Structure 1
């Protein structure tokens, strides 16, 4: 049986998504901290105790229990804490203090432990991931994935506390697994996702079509072939594809080809002719025209600029 492309894994590889753990924290008593907007995909996980998160752009406060994980796009400030009765402190200052574990709070009262970090991506990832994900993802420690989440969080908490050889590397790898679990959870609730490639991968009819295009991006795919793979009529397939992916099938294929071209031009020494041929273009000029229309630069100029 032919192995088909894992679209999610391929996109994460293309975007060079890498997770980084900042610091774990221990808060005792009452506390509240304001965190700045960072414009990065971030996560906050709770290991022990309870607290809440108030995002400036959301009307509802998110209550966190042990084992819960919140992932968000970092475009808005937020306050995290367990009390409205104390002054809101500065998270940057609190986490900037010395020590492998950040410590804060009034010192008398409940104990809360957690860990946080962010996901770094390349320029392609900023477009693909930020548009595909909802602003906030709340993974609950008591849902179907709770056993996996709790194990990851316990290990992540232990490694991020430091001390063991390779602790930082291990913590980042665990955080990456946490990120993948978050994306899988999104696929389980695909109707809540914005239209785009991630939502399309969860659609039982459209997902096989995406795998075909990712398997052979240089093939001259016809609408009839793709509709047949989805077991749908041409019209119904085209409408459904656009409804979940946000663009027609031909546009999706064009955009994916251009993402592959960007990576090759940035990281590889492949000739323009060979790259054009691998992506299904019959001439260098046809490829250059398509690339410039999408990216605003000719391939040669893009390669020079990205490497400079």
Structure 2
């Protein structure tokens, strides 16, 4: 059996110093980059229709009330000061003072000014809202979008919302600032915002309405200890007995519970996570395939290559060539 990944410095794999923290690993594996776009100041009766953003969207209200209407979602969402909405970017949406107000196209309004904040409706500041998005690489879209619900409405009354709203407001402040290091500060504040979004999910992910997946498993108090073991040392040949013992459950109960929240059996999850680590390394490094195989606990390059091809449909070297070409 190969040594743990942290003992193989010649192989660069994500979060080598922080094994066991899937959130940090997700930041690296998904290439997640959070950015704020524009702020909106509005008053009176107004409604703006936006095209589908094509990426994970964040909307925070810092003043007043803003209604969010998402195409295909049955009920409009009332966002009050301090509330946050996180939703998939595959649908058109409308921001409005009231869902009954006929919307106008938002794009001409946006193009009319280059200022950080644009205006809608009458003069005044009845409502202020800040928008942002999270860019993800191909792995990130598969890893995160399938694990997040189509819409998360986070009330200002929750413990997580105030910090997220502050981060959005402070990031926009840095974007407008000419102070030294403002761009650096804005970028890192936005990354903290993404971490906060994931924390929001983890704090609320026990609901049966949330999708099965690794985030819901991480939020589950019963199976999370076993999940962290696998992330902490993915090269180890974990057995179902060891993982069940970490969860203080019988093998049968643990296997059933894990599949309920993660969507796959525990050892299938471990294999899939190893392949995600391998994909990350193949894309970013020139590490030999044999070294990756050893670092991930495989006894031979051929055993790793077979597992990789079963998971991705392509051999490791071909995967690397295609990733580099694109």
TM-score range relative to shorter protein: over 0.9
Question: What TM-score, normalized to structure 1?
Answer: 0.92
Aligned counterpart for 1:111 among listed residues 126, 129, 132:
126
Report deviation, 1:293.
Answer: 1.2
**Structure 2, unpaired ranges of 5+:** 1-17
Cα–Cα, structure 1 residues 243 and 149, in superposed 2: closer, same or farther, change >3 Å? same
CA contact (8 A) 1:94 1:102 kept: no
Moved over 3 A (4+): 83-87, 160-169
Residue of structure 2 in register with 1:181 after alignment: 196
More displaced stretch, 49-58 vs 137-146: 137-146
Aligned-partner Cα distance in 2 for 1:82–1:286: 59
Cα–Cα, structure 1 residues 26 and 168, in superposed 2: closer, same or farther, change >3 Å? farther
**Structure 1, unpaired ranges of 5+:** none
Aligned counterpart for 1:12 among listed residues 13, 16, 27:
27
Residue of structure 2 in register with 1:156 after alignment: 171
CA contact (8 A) 2:226 2:246 kept: yes
Aligned-partner Cα distance in 2 for 1:68–1:10: 28
Report deviation, 1:34.
Answer: 0.9
Aligned counterpart for 1:47 among listed residues 55, 59, 62:
62
1:209-252 residue CA offsets vs partner (Å, 9 max, x unmatched): 11111111111111111111111111111101101110001110
**More relative contact order, 1 or 2 (CA 8 Å, 6+ apart):** 2
Alignment coverage as a number of residue pairs: 307
Aligned counterpart for 1:231 among listed residues 224, 248, 268:
248
Aligned counterpart for 1:75 among listed residues 74, 82, 90:
90
1:36 aligns with 2:51: yes
More displaced stretch, 254-263 vs 210-219: 210-219
Residue of structure 2 in register with 1:288 after alignment: 305
CA contact (8 A) 1:95 1:102 kept: no
Aligned-partner Cα distance in 2 for 1:198–1:17: 15
1:95 aligns with 2:133: no
Report deviation, 1:62.
Answer: 0.6
CA contact (8 A) 1:53 1:79 kept: yes
Aligned counterpart for 1:120 among listed residues 135, 152, 157:
135
Aligned-partner Cα distance in 1 for 2:100–2:180: 41
Aligned-partner Cα distance in 1 for 2:53–2:242: 44
Aligned-partner Cα distance in 1 for 2:48–2:181: 30
Report deviation, 1:165.
Answer: 4.2
Report deviation, 1:172.
Answer: 3.4
Report deviation, 1:287.
Answer: 1.1
Aligned-partner Cα distance in 2 for 1:131–1:293: 21
Cα–Cα, structure 1 residues 233 and 134, in superposed 2: closer, same or farther, change >3 Å? same
Question: What TM-score, normalized to structure 2?
Answer: 0.88
User: What is the aligned-residue RMSD (CA, Å)?
Assistant: 2.0
Aligned-partner Cα distance in 2 for 1:85–1:221: 56
Report deviation, 1:276.
Answer: 0.8
CA contact (8 A) 1:24 1:160 kept: no
Aligned-partner Cα distance in 1 for 2:177–2:45: 26
Aligned-partner Cα distance in 2 for 1:287–1:4: 21
Cα–Cα, structure 1 residues 50 and 169, in superposed 2: closer, same or farther, change >3 Å? farther
Report deviation, 1:166.
Answer: 4.1
Aligned counterpart for 1:241 among listed residues 214, 234, 258:
258
